[in-house]
Amino acid sequence: MTAVMPRERREQQARELDAADPLPARRAEFCVPPHGLGEAAYLAGNSLGLQPKALRARLGAELDDWARLGVEGHTHARRPWLPYHEQLRAPAARLVGARPEEVVAMNSLTVNLHLLIVSFYRPTPRRHAIVIEDSAFPSDSYAVRSQAAFHGYDPDEAVIRLAPRPGEAALRTGDIVGFLREHGERVALVLLGAVNYLTGELFDIDAITAAGRAVGAVVGWDLAHAAGNVPLRLHECGADWAAWCSYKYLNAGPGSVAGAFVHERHLADRSLPRFAGWWSTDPRTRFEMAPAVTPVDTADSWQVSNPPILAMAPVLVSLEMFDQSGMPALRARSVRLTGYLQSLLDEVCAARPAEVITPRDPDRRGAQLSVRIGGRDVGPVTRRLRDDFGVFADTRPPDVIRLAPAPMYNTFHDCWRAATALAAVLDDAGDTDA
């Protein structure tokens, strides 16, 4: 193309793509924030997903059962509360590519990281390093540093942070594998974010898991930005364990109940240390009130507390929606959306001090494109995107804006709005003192 497509034709093209897409967006099933007389273009689902409209009735049913039954709701609610978490087991397993006995919905992400590290970080003087990416989410960094210190090691020495090559934004899988092959005898635990929160890079989970286990390390995955974003096959790839949240791509609400995976080869291993609570014991004998746990050979052994029903109901609604759409179809739609958005951002960045730092290869990214803005405070930029154009994005200071077209509810028209708005804001220096 020798000339830039006119704005009206570009918008028409976006609407035509929406009309022709084989998996239409389920936008009408979500509460989309308003903007002006219409709706916002919400591309911040990698931070907090939108509320499903079906959730209000589901929560209302639980509140009604509580009001009607009181304590008897544990056994007589429409969805009895005592085994409530078991309803989430099979759909969560399908979502992350696991067997039902390998998964459990519980706690929050970082709590689950700690509970699993208790079992799987077993350092020795010779082998005590923990490998993370240099741009790991701070919570992961804090968690592994505190665990190293708790076990008597200097976090600055024990925690190894792998950085991209000079001049590159993304960390190459080959470099991770190469490090493990060369230094694996020092590594006790590999813990990486399957999709990096900053760059949107999708790591080769299979290759890294195989490399880590080949050198005797335990391999865990933080799936905060991967669950509900990309297809996963935790059981087949052989990961030792994983944890994820459900408030991003899974649309289960702020602070919603997280999930955990433990590979079946560990489920019956009584030598693994673990913290325990009432819900860690065999449910068949739970009400015998025995002083010691009767362990079960499922991921439930890592559960310590009874399920929070009002916080778990949104996760169940979400998992039902993902079962209906299917991750393969959602992933295919995601690739189409991000590919379209990439083409628009190429035009935006070509004439402005901005660059997409997310890998261009669809196999190396999820539903997020991160744009690095040169010479601007990105906070005011995203505020203007939201306030003036109705485009929700988010920032990662000092210079990155993240745009995440979630395939469940975002549209090609949302992508067009985001790119058009970003170009307009970058061309206007009026946000510098916002």
pLDDT tens string 370-415: 999 998 889 999 999 999 999 999 999 999 999 999 999 999 999 9
Amino acid 376: pLDDT: 85
98: left (phi over 0), alpha (psi -120 to 50) or beta: beta
Task: Categorise residue 157: left if φ over 0, alpha if ψ from -120 to 50, beta otherwise.
Answer: alpha
Closest by CA position to 344, among listed 106, 108, 4, 12: 4
* One-letter identity of residue 251: N
Chain Cα centroid distance, residue 197: 8
Compute the distance between CA of residue 251 and CA of residue 425 in angstroms, rounded to an integer.
29
- pLDDT, one tens digit per residue, over 219-233 is 999 999 999 999 999
List CB contacts of 180: < 8 A, sequence separation 6 or more. Answer: 131, 187, 190, 208, 211, 212, 214, 215, 217
- For the chain, the first-to-last Cα distance in angstroms comes to 37
Domains of the chain: 7-53+326-431 (3.90.1150.10), 85-325 (3.40.640.10)
Q: What is the mean pLDDT of the chain?
A: 95
Q: What are the residues whose beta carbons fall under 8 Å from the beta carbon of 100, sequence distance 6 or more?
A: 89, 90, 93
Residue 433: its pLDDT value, please? 38
Please, which pLDDT band fits residue 429 given cuts at 50, 70 and 90? Answer: low
Quote helix, strand, coil % in the chain, to nearest 5.
Answer: 45, 15, 40
State how far the Cα of 219 lies from the Cα of 422, in Å rounded to an integer. Answer: 39
The answer to which of 62-71, 137-146, 424-433 has the lowest mean pLDDT is 424-433
Distance (Å) of CA 331 to CA 23, 98, 168, 232, 313: 10, 18, 26, 11, 25
What's the rounded Cα separation, in Å, for the pair 339 and 210?
Answer: 30
For 66-119, how does the pLDDT look when each residue is reduced to its tens digit (9 = 90+)?
A: 999 999 999 999 999 999 999 999 999 999 999 999 999 999 999 999 999 999
**In the predicted model, is pLDDT for residue 1 greater than 50?**
no
What pLDDT, on the 0 to 100 scale, is given for residue 2?
A: 41
- For residue 162, give the 3-state DSSP assignment: strand
* pLDDT tens-digit readout, 323-381: 999 999 999 999 999 999 999 999 999 999 999 999 999 999 999 999 999 988 899 99
Please name the residue ranges forming H helices in 215-358: 234-237, 264-267, 309-325, 327-350
What does the alpha-carbon distance between residue 326 and residue 269 come to, in Å, rounded to a whole number?
A: 33
Supply the pLDDT for residue 375.
84
DSSP string, 268-296: T-TTS-----GGGB-TTTGGG--SS--B-
CB 341 within 8 A of CB 418: yes
Gap between the Cα atoms of 128 and 159, Å rounded:
9
